[in-house]
Structure 1
Amino acid sequence: MLNSEKKKVSISVKTSPADKEQAAKIFDNLGLNLSTAINIFIKKSIVEGGLPFEVKDPFYSKTNQTELNRRFKKVNSNQDLHAHHLLENSEE
């Protein structure tokens, strides 16, 4: 083992108390503590050269995009359009 690998440094991560508790329970069930789990994440990220899982916005999912395109086509062809009326301000 290299000397640089023997030294350890601390990092600080901010999260909500609820998220910390949930993660700690999950990792505990796997026989890990938070520190070990975070170190596994870091090592796996290094091996992968990035995050070890895909991060994506569900807005761009194929299902959502298909539905949005269907609705845009209806609007463009003036199908199933309903007039919306603004509510009058009762304080005036």
Structure 2
Amino acid sequence: MAQATLTARVDEKDKINFDAFCSNVGLNTSTAINLFVKAVLRENRIPFEIAQSSDPFFSQSNLEYVKKSIQELRTGKGTAHELIEVDDE
């Protein structure tokens, strides 16, 4: 079977910790990623639950604040600013 290269960008510390974990359980990083790929293809889904974290941005109080701010802008009680985009690398 022909081999292909899969490239992914991850946080440097996460990579170091993942490499260490793989080594500790007797795998190399490539083998661990291949295990993940095979599980996805076998199960036709991500092989673990993905749930919304407790990200404070999505907290009820913050969402209420955002809605209130939008309403204030719509009634002329605020200043709208242009979005400043930053290139992530």
Letter matched to residue 7 of structure 2: S
Among 3, 9, 15, which residue is 1:8 paired with?
3
- Residue correspondence of structure 1 range 1-92 to structure 2 within 5 A: 6-59=1-54
What is the Cα-based RMSD across aligned positions, in Å?
1.9
Q: Percent identity?
A: 31
Larger Cα-atom Rg: 1
Per-residue deviation, residues 22-76 of structure 1 (Å, max 9, x unmatched): 00011101111110000000000111111000001034xxxxxxxx6xxxxxxxx
Secondary structure at 2:21 match in 1 = helix
Unaligned runs of 5+ in 1: 1-5, 60-67, 69-92
Alignment TM-score, normalising by the size of structure 1? 0.56
Partners of 1:33 and 1:23 in 2: CA distance: 10
Alignment TM-score, normalising by the size of structure 2? 0.58
Unaligned runs of 5+ in 2: 55-59, 61-89
